[in-house]
Amino acid sequence: MENFNFRRATDEEMSRIIKMQSDIFSGEQGIPTDDIDTFMLKSPICWCAEKDGKIYAAVAAWKENAEVHWGRFVTFPAVRGQLRTSAAN
């Protein structure tokens, strides 16, 4: 099991995260791409798991109708089941 850094994603990383979400949600789960585009209108805040500058997983939270929502944690297939924080050692 490898160690990954879990942190808030930067604005510059959002395009990579959206691409990962689109690939996983649309490609694996059949969720329409339009749903992901609509999601971006909610101004989500994303967190990611990265190692050596590469993002392997991400999750988003957003506020809607005065409630905070937490999205699905998307993970590249190659690292599923392998994520843990350095602090967990």
Domain boundaries, the chain: 5-88
CATH 3.40.50.720 fits 5-88, yes or no: no
Backbone phi and psi for residue 25, each to the nearest 5 degrees, phi listed first: -65, -45
What confidence tier does 85 reach under pLDDT thresholds 50, 70, 90? Answer: low
Query: What band does 14 get if pLDDT is binned at 50, 70 and 90?
Result: confident
Tell me, what's the pLDDT at 53? Answer: 86
CA 67 to CA 55: how far, in whole Å?
Answer: 28
Residue 76 is predicted with a pLDDT of 81
Alpha carbons 71 and 88: distance in angstroms, whole number:
23
